[in-house]
Amino acid sequence: MSQTTNFLDEYEGAAGSCGDSSPFVCEYEGSEYAGAVCLHFNAFEVQSAMYKHAPDDLVLGYTRTMMNFLIFNQQPHYIGMIGLGGGSLPKACYRRLPQAIISVAEINPEVIALRDHFFIPEDGERFAVLCEDGAEFVRRQRGQFDVLIVDGFDGTGQPPQLCTQRFYRDCYRSLSPQGLLVVNICDAQDLIPRIRRPFRNQVIVTDIDARSANTIVFAGKGDILTKTLWPPRPQPVQQVSRYFGGATREAPSPRCEDHT
């Protein structure tokens, strides 16, 4: 059952409640997440975080890295997302890209039920949350998305249907001719070759920092990656960091895949 709990006062209760991996919300009063509302599937890992005083800021570093898709496409028209979580990325796109139509696939209705805790926009003409398997979501698309963001996790990690070769082929087919796939593969380096194959090695891999297990992969259709400078110059990245909230950090260190 979903629940709201104070992390410091009721940590043991939260830990005991999550044996079935049901999502729950913690309100932090201390640690690095002081003043934040966080989504959990267990008591030890934060899935999403939102500052109560600044609900549109991107708190977690990997989300700011994923928003670097704006370096390649500053005005996407159609954005697809897999994984709602606490809505950090959907909200960032909705607030800052008013021209974009955003569709979010989230398989877990309990996660969707928590959307009001994180001020996720209501469904409307340009924003919709679909209770749907992410693999099925991309499979029924063809040439639709200018940007597709994959950040789908459950209580055990990345669902297996979001890790198959077929899934990444379907991601490729769901993109527009100059579309961009952005994936949080989080401690699953074996997925990188599966992404490379349909995208014909048009792939950039970035690590967040030494403390993070998150690895972000940018995979491009057409020449969207090759026509844009990477790594980006420091000034634009700092501007993006300020624009989307949170402390300005150095640009992540990218590593281009070995194509041999």
| CA geometry: angle 135, 88, 35, nearest 5 deg | 140
Sign of CA dihedral 172, 178, 184, 190: positive
Alpha helical stretches, state H, the chain: 11-17, 61-66, 88-96, 109-113, 134-139, 165-174, 192-196, 234-243
Of 57, 146, 151, 170, which one is the catalytic site residue? 151
Cα–Cα distance for residue pair 31/179, rounded to 1 Å: 39
- Tokens for 140? 């029924």
| C-alpha distances in Å from residue 46, one per residue of 7, 26, 146 | 11, 9, 29
- Widest pairwise Cα distance in the chain: 54
209 among known catalytic residues? no
Partnered with residue 49 across adjacent β-strands are 38
Residues serving a catalytic function are 151
